[in-house]
Amino acid sequence: MALHRLSSVTIGVPDPAVTRDYYTEFGLTPRPDGWLATRDGGDQLRLIRAPSRRLAEIVVGVDDFDDLDAVAARLHKLGLPVERTADSVAGTEPVANFRAVVRISDRVTQPATPATPYNGPGRVERSGTRAPGVLREDPIRPRKLGHAVLGSVDYAATRRFFVDGLGFQLSDEIEGEGAFLRCSTDHHNVLVLNAPVNFLHHTSWQLDDIDDVGRGATAMLEGNPQRHVWGLGRHYAGSNFFWYLKDPAGNFSEYYSDMDSIIDDQLWTPEVFTGAQGLFSWGPPPPPSFLHPEDLAALMTGAHHAG
């Protein structure tokens, strides 16, 4: 695949300072000009001021100029204007109106992390000591941005922009309602959902294992139980463990670990999900506010006024 990483997202929020404090507590490192960084991915989240929460920009990495030419040709074929710089191609998604930038970028390098030892029937990986998950005291720091999930009032058009325009690959889909798309070896880097208004549903951030997912969420909820949205659980699409929280602007933020990896596109067969399988494998059922965030009506009203 010519695309190789989800480099960053820029999110518009009414109060960047308050939202920045949340993501700093979440484990990202504050950087200049509104950026926040992960351990392995560098600057991956930028917060800017906007009247209401929205996805403003998404940046995808490629290797070379030939990759940029291919993206530009695909966007032109869709009838979309293209901006070129020395190292990037950019276009605007015509439905949700966010900017998509494809830029020549270094690949994310993640040093191999030793597998967490877990004991099981007839299998003792850890003897004479407590589990690492109960001994860790270091604060959570996400390794990289994994994916972003967006709602679109024209699901088919936004899906076409990512697949036929930018060059994303389909991993799985929710029948008539959603497409799990990848621009790397991760199972998905973008999920496009059918929605009554264009909005950012959540961003997702990689941790080492399920223990860190639990530790991170527990720390975020201490003294702030209203941040809880959904978890702990395990998805079927992507197979990852998850726990969802809510930032001050209303965006959901997910801690995840153990995502499916697709190294060879020819060895992966996309599935079409219906019902709960499209949402989770185990865990508590998703609350109504996860499926239909509480501010959607306000976002719809704002969109109508803007129109």
Domains of the chain in sequence order:
3-107+140-305 (3.10.180.10)
Least confident of 61-70, 109-118, 229-238: 109-118
The residues pairing with 148 across neighbouring beta strands, listed in sequence order, are 190, 203
| For the ranges 38-42, 275-279, 296-300, the one whose mean pLDDT is highest | 38-42
> Is the model's pLDDT at 259 over the cut of 70?
yes
Q: Which two tokens stand for residue 209?
A: 């294992």
Going by C-alpha positions, the residue among 141, 149, 187 that lies closest to residue 58 is: 149
pLDDT at 283: 97
> Is the model's pLDDT at 265 over the cut of 50?
yes
**CA distances to 120, 124, 125, 132, 133 from 117, in Å:** 10, 8, 5, 8, 10
Task: Please give the Cα distance from 18 to 13 (Å, whole number).
Answer: 10
Counting every residue written for the chain, the total comes to 307
Query: Radius of gyration (Cα) for the chain, nearest Å?
Result: 19
Task: Please give the Cα distance from 242 to 257 (Å, whole number).
Answer: 7
- For the question of whether the overall pTM of this predicted structure is more than 0.75, the answer is yes
pLDDT at 307: 47
Cα three-residue angle 295-298-299, rounded to 5 degrees: 85
